[in-house]
Structures are given as structure tokens and as C-alpha cells.
Amino acid sequence: MAILQIRKLGDPVLRSRTKEVEKITEKTNELLDNMIDTMYAKDGVGLAAPQVGILQRVAVVNVGENLIELINPEIISESGKSIMEEGCLSVPNELGEVIRAEKIKVKTLNREGKEITFETENFEARAIQHELDHLDGVLFIDKTVKIME
């Protein structure tokens, strides 16, 4: 597979809202594969399509042993709040504390086009929320309550 170029702060694609995937094709699955390879190569825990210049509602997350592929994802419920330091491959060398939901329920499509719903919490929930923000043109620095150096 391919390692894709990560777009950096200042690139207008990072501030653009993505479009829903109308039909999952071989090209969609290739994008997922390339994003996964890129995320691992760059030591990230998540990657959204806009970060590689693609304006589609696609993201991948892996904070441990559970790879999550998200196509047209939507948070359908959330609970609790926590604050934690975040960073981003598209905003290198910056960290900031961000308040996010502790637990979320997500509805998404998998690479076969089947709708799945799952619940997650803590760091995995935070990573998913971070990547879903990218799909709406929002960066973590827009939500920081305190910039860390």
C-alpha cells in the first residue's frame, strides 16, 4: 500500500467539511488501507481523510489493538466529560488540553457497507471524536482550553 502525504495546518482542505461516501467501492477500501498504513508509519493513533487531502467522511483509529474503520460515522450519544492533552499529525509540535465526552456511541459503515453501532470510552472515544472533528473541518486547536508547550 501507499504512505500518503499528511496535510499540515494552513492547508485549506483541513478546514473543509467532507462529503458522505455515496457508495463503498474498491477505491474506498484502498483509501482505508492507505490511511491505515500512513497512520502506522507516522506513529499516529488516528487519521481522517482530509488529513491526506480527501474530502470524504472516512477515518481510521487504533489506540491499542483495536483497529476501527469509520465510513460516514456519526456520534449518536455521549456521556461524561474529561480533559486530556491532545496532539495531531496535521498540527505538529503543538499540544493542548481538550474537553471531550468520556463515553460515546457511534454509528458507522464498515468497508462492506454494513451499518454498525458500537460504544467506546476513554482514550479510544477521544481519538474517534478528534477524527470526526476533522471531517467537519475542526482541529483540536479550535477546542483547546490550554495550550501546552
Active-site residue set: 131
Three-state secondary structure of the chain: CCCCCCCCCCCHHHHCCCECCCCCCHHHHHHHHHHHHHHHHCCCCEEEHHHHCCCECEEEECCCCCCEEEEEEEEEEEECCEEEEEEECCEEEEEEEEEECCEEEEEEECCCCCEEEEEEEHHHHHHHHHHHHHHCCCCHHHCEEEEEC
